[in-house]
Every structure is written in structure tokens, then in C-alpha cells.
């Protein structure tokens, strides 16, 4: 069945504090010996962009700002106190990593503590909707002399890549997306002047005129633009961010170097565009070489107690599926959220079962290729952050990666969500007008309730998919695409969303009883008709004026969507599971979730996850007589008892058990 013992690539994101400039080789050999492997890429988080702004060649050795020597300048890690690094020591570190075959990327944020250069250019700081400048660079602005910051930045980046020998630029938070969501800013004179020039819009009352960034003017601009020109504002930002990326890419590629941005604060294609003005497709077309995907559910689950409103595990699984659907030709490197001293969270020590489960699940989401084969959504992990880990913690990670990537399935026991690029634009306009659930939101709600959806396919490839197809928000698909899915499908097609006139009559359908825009689940090609009757539900409605809704200020808070009833979603989950032939959870279906991979016609690999914080004893029914069971994970330490098609299993809290089921031959 073709084992793959480790990910294709293993990346590490690490601060300078992870190395030792008192060692002759800057601590490189000790670091690699402790990790137990040689990473393909190490991204050095130098944090403060003044590292780049102040670069003046390598004619003399100079001290780096202290907040470049550790993330935000934090004074110590688990391993050592922050050291004072110099430009020559950093260049030597890059060379020593190269000696071991490691590619070295540079990573910077828009944030800073020291501000030797930035402090001289307050015009570059983000201005929020209240008119307050915050300590975050806005890379799409102009210097006071009229120079585009992106031109200055790209020029300095070229010098830094040449002088230090970096192999690429890891375009991290604040440079791959704005720190502020678009609702919050930046409505400064500079950005609004650019907006008016790009769109030709006239703002009422002369709001486009220079005001010296007067708070009252900025507040009025923010109110008017978000209410009356929201779509244009989003598109303007998408173009500006893509233009910045294009200049960075041209600079790097001219030197044979790479550019790999982060996705926008964990967000899927729709929310990245709506909330942050990032169109991943436009960024991809600018020439980037891949993306780092913020699949950081374990860290968010532990660290966002007063913010996260969604179950981050399923939120980011759904995000990763849709990211690969939108960017099928680019490698996606999933963040492995190990720990972060500066941000004060540590999953490896405070929640290792969450991380183990996340690694296994992220490495087993798939996309159908044009040739009918499966491709993993993840090209491999990127440790975040890679300083101060102990030898046994690195060993855990290597073992988890090995098991996560250890089998190549021929089929996933799953429904396949169908992706359409063309539907994304229509989805944006619809949300602004109605707040109906986005494709990602529906996918998340279904996955969180146990729907087996672990594959995606482009709409053009619907005919090669094995298993049922899932079309979310069919009303956003062009008519010809919808008809092609129905015509090409060899298995049932399940369409969940508003009614789409282009679709023919289904085998059966049922409608939600909730809200002004009730959703419909229509099933095509079903072998058996199902009668689903839902009781009327009273749900808290949205304000009549949906354009007046206040948007969330941070990424861990959710957008407000038009309500969908739990009973409707539960009925949809049951339909999807039945059509997919999914494993049946007989005991504790409220917290046990099963991801099933078909390795060959006799063997299934099951990833059995537990949403509870406690050990849970479950019983699973795989639908065929069992010949044998083999536990792949260390826990539990013995094969479970089975009888017929059923077996019992104890699953650790927030964790996972991976088990291979061999079926009895007929």
C-alpha cells in the first residue's frame, strides 16, 4: 500500500534565541542533534522590520535591535537568556545552517518594540477607525516624501537577501495581511486617497480630502465606506496586497529566492477576503512559491479562552480543505503549534493530545487530482516555534509526523466537497446583503457535528470522484457548473444552501424551519428516499439592517451569520454519513469523530478522535466483518476486542487513536 514514513518537507520557525552565539558554530550542530533531524527550511523570526529598514551593507559589524534577538525582545526562553546578536553573527548562522543543507528564510512582523527607523515614519502606522495610530506598520502606505513603502521595502529586501544569503522571505503576519481587519481600518488620508484614485468613487462631504488624519473625519469615512462601499473597499485592498506581494516576489525571484506568505490569521478564502482583504488567488498569481497555513487549533483552543467562539479543530480543518481547493498548485505547509514563550502558550507541555490529533488529521485531508488520484492538502509541517524544545519533545513530533503521513489511501470514506472559484465572488456579495452562511461556515458546522468530509475536488473534476459529492451554497455556482456536477456524478450529490433554480428536481429534499433565508438540503441520485420532518425553530434573528452589524475586531471571534437550526444540520450530517458509508459510532456519538481511509480493499485506517476532555469508551461499527485490528498509536497498548463488525475503544481526552482494521474476506 506504499508507506510514506515522513512528510515530504519539514520546516521550522524559530527565533535567534533558539541558537547560541557563544558557540563556534552559533549552536547549529547542538540544535540539529537535539531535534534529531535536519529541517528542509528554517525560518528565522527576526520580528522587527527595522532589521531590514536599517540595513546598510556588511562593511562593519553592527548590533541588532534587541527585539530582533528574540520575538518581541522577551528576556529568556526555556533554554537560555536572550543574547545580543550582531549582523556578522547572523550571517555566520545562515552560513552554518547552509553547511548542513538547511534553507534559511527571513521572517518579519509589522510589530516592533524598538523603533529607530519606524519611529521616524509615523505616517506608516496603521490608523484604526477611531483615528488612533497603533504600533503596527501598514505596508501599503507611502512615506512622507511620496515614496511607496513597498518600493523601499523591496529594495532593502533584495540587499538583505544578497548580503546574508537568505534563501527566501517568509512573508508573515502583518506583511501577508493587514494587522487590522478592514472594518477597523486603515481609513487614513493616505489609504483613502489611494482608494478614491483606484475606484473613482466620491465620498460625501469631502471626506476624501486630506484632513491630517483628524479622528472625526476618519470615523465618518469608516462609517460611510463600510456601509456604502464595502465591496469596493475589499477589492481595493485585495489589489493593493497583491501588488505588494508582486514587488516582493519580483525582487526575490530575480535572485533565485522564494517567497512564502502566511495565510490571513487562520482564515479560509472567503473570510480572508471579507475580513482582511486578502485574495489568495491574486497573491498566488503574484508568483508566491507556497503558503504557510495557520492550522493552530491546539494553541487557539488553549489560549483563547475569552475569544474563540468556534471549535478551532474543525474550523481549521475546514479552512485547510478550502485553501487547497483554491490553491491546488501550491504547496501548503501547516503550522505545528508547539509553543511560544512570548505569546505564553505551550501545547507540547499543556495539551499534547490536542497537537497529536491535529497533526494526524491535518496530514489526512485530501484533494482529488485531475487524474483521479488523491493528493494530501498538507505538504508537511512547520514547527511554531522551534526554540527550547527538549529532545523527547522533538521525538514526539517526529513520531507523530511519521504516523500521520505513513499511509497513502486509495479512497477516503467521506463525502467530497466541491469547490468553485467562480462561486467565491458571488458568495461575498450575498454575505454583504444577507449574512447567509459562507461555504466555510457550513462546512465547519457539518464537520463539527461529525459529518465525514475529508476530501475536496474542483468542480471540473466532479466526474472522477469516488463517493458522494457535497455542494455547499449551490446558489452561488454558475448554472453550467451545477449541471455538470449532477450529470458527471457516479454517486449521490448532496446540495445544501438556498434553492438553485438551475438544479433539476432532486430524489428528495427537506428545508430548515429557521430564519428569513431557510436552507434546503437536496439529494440527487439517492438509492432510497428519506422523509425528514423538522419542528419549527425560533432562533435569534439578525438586525433588520445587516449592514449595521459590528464586525469582530480579532480573528478568534466569529462573524455573525444568519441562523441555521441544529436540527437541520443534524439531519444533513446523517444524510452525508449514510451516503458515504461512514463508520457508525454506537456509543458516545456526541464526542467521538472518525476519519476513515481506505488503504486497500481489505484495510481501513481509522483516526478516532475525542472532543471531550476526558477518556471516553466508545463502540464503532465498520459495517463489515473484522479479521484483525492493529493499533498504530502508542495508546492504547493492546488491540481492542472485536466481534463481527464492531469493536470497543478507549480514546484519550482531546486526543486520537489510530487503528488499522483488516476485514475478513468474503
Q: Could you tell me which of 165, 157, 219 has the C-alpha nearest to residue 188?
A: 219
The pLDDT value given to residue 533:
85
Is residue 179 within 8 A of residue 173, CB to CB? The reply is yes
C-alpha cell at 471: 455542494
Q: For residue 524, what pLDDT is reported?
A: 95
538-557: average pLDDT: 89
Dist CA 51 CA 502 (whole Å): 56
Q: Is the pLDDT of residue 639 over 90?
A: no
Tell me: the pLDDT tens digits for 47-58?
999 999 999 999
Alpha carbon distance 68, 85 (integer Å): 8
CA dist 560 and 537 (Å) reads 19
What SS3 state is found at 416?
strand
**pLDDT for 3 beyond 60:** no
pLDDT bin (cut points 50, 70, 90) of residue 539 is confident
Residue 582: its pLDDT value, please?
A: 97
Q: How many helices (H) and strands (E) does the chain have?
A: 19, 29
Helix (H, G, I), strand (E, B) or coil at 511: strand
Which run of H or E residues covers position 108?
A: strand 103-109
Q: What is the mean pLDDT of the chain?
A: 95
Q: Rounded distance, CA 578 to CA 572, Å?
A: 10
Average pLDDT estimate for 267-277: 98
Q: How many angstroms separate the CA atoms of 76 and 210, rounded?
A: 45
Q: Which helix (H) or strand (E) holds 35?
A: helix 28-35
Query: Within 13 Å of residue 39, how many CA atoms lie on the same side as its CB?
Result: 27
Neighbours of 526 (CB within 10 A): 18
Residues whose CB falls within 8 Å of the CB of residue 484, separated by 6 or more in sequence, listed in order: 459, 460, 462
Per-residue pLDDT at 141 exceeds 90: yes
Please tell me the predicted confidence (pLDDT) of residue 2: 36
Q: Give residue 318's region: left, alpha or beta (phi > 0; psi -120 to 50).
A: alpha
CA distance 10 to 143: 38
The domains found in the chain, sorted by start residue, are: 11-408 (3.20.20.80), 415-580 (no CATH), 584-663 (2.60.40.1180)
The more confident residue out of 306 and 193 is 193
- CA gap 598, 517 in Å, rounded: 38
Q: Where are the beta strands (DSSP E) in 498-559?
A: 508-511, 520-524
Task: Express as a percent the part of the chain with pLDDT over 70.
Answer: 98
The region of weakest confidence among 501-505, 635-639, 651-655 is: 501-505
**pLDDT beyond 90 at 409:** yes
Average pLDDT over residues 193-201: 97
pLDDT exceeds cutoff 70 at 307 = no
Q: What percent of the chain has pLDDT over 90?
A: 91
The pLDDT tens digits for 185-195 are 999 999 999 99
> For the whole model, what pTM was predicted?
0.96
Grid cell 481489505 — which residue? 602
pLDDT above 90 for 579: yes
Residues 382, 336: Cα–Cα separation, whole Å? 6
Find the distance separating the first CA and the last CA of the chain, reported in whole Å: 21
CA distances from 509 to 111, 394, 474, 499 (A): 51, 50, 14, 11
More confident residue, 345 or 530: 345
How distant, in Å, are the alpha carbons of 70, 174, 193 from that of 18? 9, 23, 43
Q: How confident is the model at residue 4 (pLDDT cuts 50, 70, 90)?
A: very low
User: Is 319:366 a contact under the CB 8 Å cutoff?
Assistant: no
Closest CA to 400 of 358, 346, 365, 366: 358
Helices (DSSP H) in 296-420: which residue ranges? Answer: 297-303, 312-326, 347-350, 352-362, 391-404
Mind listing the pLDDT tens digit for each residue in 227-249? 999 999 999 999 999 999 999 99
**Statement: residue 470 has pLDDT above 70:** yes
- Cβ burial 372-386 (10 Å sphere, 16+ → b, else e): eebebbbbbbbbbbb
**pLDDT, average across residues 291-316:** 85
Distances (CA, A) of 363 to 130, 455, 595: 42, 12, 12
In sequence order, which residues have a C-beta less than 8 Å from that of residue 569 and are 6 or more positions away?
A: 445, 446, 449
Mind listing the pLDDT tens digit for each residue in 473-502?
999 999 999 999 999 888 999 999 999 888
Whether the per-residue pLDDT at 26 is higher than 50: the answer is yes
Q: What is the mean pLDDT of residues 262-286?
A: 98
Phi, psi of 367 (to 5 degrees): -125, 140
Alpha-carbon distance of 420 to 474, in angstroms, equals: 10
Question: Which secondary structure element, helix H or strand E, spans residue 135, and what is its range?
Answer: strand 133-137
- The answer for residues whose C-beta is within 8 angstroms of residue 26's C-beta and 6 or more apart is 19, 20, 89, 92, 93, 96
What is d(CA 355, CA 607) in angstroms, rounded to the nearest whole number?
Answer: 14
Amino acid at each position: 500500500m506504499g508507506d510514506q514514513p515522513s512528510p515530504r518537507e519539514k520546516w521550522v520557525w524559530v527565533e535567534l534565541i533558539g541558537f547560541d552565539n557563544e558557540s563556534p558554530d552559533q549552536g547549529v550542530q547542538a540544535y540539529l542533534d537535539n531535534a534529531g533531524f535536519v529541517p528542509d527550511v528554517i525560518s528565522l523570526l527576526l520580528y522587527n522590520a527595522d532589521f531590514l529598514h536599517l540595513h546598510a551593507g556588511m562593511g562593519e559589524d553592527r548590533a541588532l535591535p534587541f527585539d530582533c534577538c528574540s520575538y518581541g525582545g522577551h528576556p529568556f526562553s526555556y533554554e537560555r537568556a536572550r543574547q545580543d546578536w550582531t549582523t556578522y553573527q547572523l550571517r555566520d548562522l545562515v552560513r552554518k545552517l547552509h553547511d548542513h543543507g538547511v534553507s534559511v528564510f527571513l521572517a518579519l512582523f509589522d510589530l516592533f518594540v524598538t523603533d529607530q527607523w519606524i519611529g521616524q515614519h509615523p505616517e506608516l502606522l496603521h490608523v484604526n477607525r477611531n483615528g488612533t495610530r497603533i504600533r503596527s506598520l501598514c505596508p501599503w502606505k507611502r512615506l512622507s516624501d511620496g515614496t511607496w513603502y513597498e518600493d523601499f521595502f523591496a529594495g532593502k529586501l533584495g540587499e538583505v537577501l544578497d548580503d546574508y544569503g537568505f534563501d527566501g522571505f517568509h512573508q508573515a503576519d502583518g506583511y501577508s495581511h493587514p494587522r487590522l481587519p478592514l472594518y477597523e481600518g486603515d481609513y487614513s488620508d493616505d489609504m483613502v486617497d489611494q482608494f478614491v484614485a483606484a475606484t473613482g468613487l466620491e465620498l460625501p462631504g469631502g471626506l476624501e480630502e486630506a484632513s491630517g488624519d483628524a479622528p472625526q473625519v476618519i470615523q465618518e469615512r469608516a462609517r460611510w465606506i463600510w456601509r456604502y462601499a464595502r465591496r469596493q473597499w475589499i477589492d481595493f485592498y485585495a489589489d493593493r496586497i497583491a501588488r505588494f506581494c508582486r514587488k516582493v516576489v519580483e525582487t526575490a525571484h530575480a535572485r533565485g529566492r522564494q517567497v512564502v506568505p502566511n495565510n490571513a490569521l487562520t482564515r479560509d478564502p472567503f473570510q480572508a477576503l471579507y475580513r482582511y482583504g486578502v485574495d489568495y488567488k491574486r497573491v498566488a498569481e503574484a508568483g508566491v512559491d507556497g503558503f504557510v497555513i495557520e492550522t493552530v487549533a491546539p494553541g487557539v483552543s488553549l489560549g483563547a479562552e475569552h475569544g474563540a467562539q468556534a471549535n478551532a479543530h474543525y474550523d481549521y480543518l475546514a479552512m485547510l480543505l478550502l485553501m487547497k481547493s483554491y490553491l491546488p498548485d501550491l504547496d501548503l505547509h501547516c503550522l505545528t503549534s508547539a509553543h511560544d514563550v512570548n505569546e505564553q502558550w505551550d501545547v507540547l507541555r499543556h495539551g499534547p493530545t490536542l497537537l497529536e490529533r491535529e497533526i494526524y488529521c491535518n496530514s489526512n485531508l485530501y484533494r482529488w487530482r485531475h487524474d483521479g488520484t488523491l493528493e494530501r492538502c498538507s505538504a508537511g509541517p512547520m514547527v511554531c516555534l522551534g526554540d527550547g524544545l527538549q529532545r523527547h519533545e522533538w521525538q514526539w513530533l517526529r513520531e507523530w509526523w511519521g504516523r500521520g503521513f505513513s499511509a497513502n489511501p486509495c479512497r477516503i470514506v467521506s463525502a467530497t466537497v466541491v469547490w468553485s472559484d467562480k462561486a467565491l465572488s458571488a458568495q461575498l456579495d450575498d454575505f454583504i446583503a444577507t449574512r447567509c452562511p459562507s461555504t466555510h461556515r457550513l462546512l465547519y458546522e457539518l464537520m463539527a457535528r461529525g459529518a465525514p468530509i475529508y476530501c475536496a475536488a474542483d468542480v471540473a473534476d466532479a466526474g472522477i470522484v469516488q463517493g458522494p459529492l457535497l455542494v455547499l451554497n449551490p446558489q452561488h455556482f454558475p448554472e453550467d457548473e451545477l449541471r455538470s456536477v449532477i450529470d458527471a456524478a457516479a454517486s449521490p450529490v448532496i446540495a445544501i444552501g438556498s434553492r438553485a433554480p438551475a438544479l433539476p428536481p432532486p430524489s428528495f429534499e427537506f428545508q430548515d424551519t429557521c430564519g428569513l433565508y431557510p436552507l434546503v438540503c437536496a439529494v440527487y441520485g439517492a438509492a432510497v428516499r428519506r422523509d425528514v420532518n423538522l419542528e419549527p425553530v425560533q432562533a435569534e434573528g439578525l438586525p433588520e439592517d445587516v449592514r449595521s452589524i459590528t464586525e469582530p475586531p480579532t480573528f478568534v471571534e466569529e462573524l455573525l451569520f444568519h441562523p441555521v437550526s441544529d436540527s437541520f444540520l443534524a439531519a444533513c450530517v446523517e444524510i452525508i454519513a449514510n451516503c458515504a458509508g461512514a463508520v457508525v459510532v454506537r456509543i458516545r456519538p456526541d464526542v467521538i469523530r472518525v476519519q476513515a481511509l481506505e488503504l486497500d480493499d481489505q484495510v481501513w485506517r481509522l483516526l478516532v478522535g475525542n472532543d471531550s476532555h476526558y477518556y471516553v469508551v466508545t463502540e464503532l461499527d465498520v459495517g463489515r466483518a473484522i479479521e484483525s485490528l492493529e493499533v498504530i498509536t502508542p495508546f492504547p497498548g493492546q488491540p481492542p476486542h472485536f466481534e463481527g463488525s464492531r469493536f470497543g475503544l478507549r480514546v484519550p481526552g482531546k486526543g486520537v487513536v489510530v487503528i488499522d482494521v483488516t476485514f475478513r474476506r468474503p
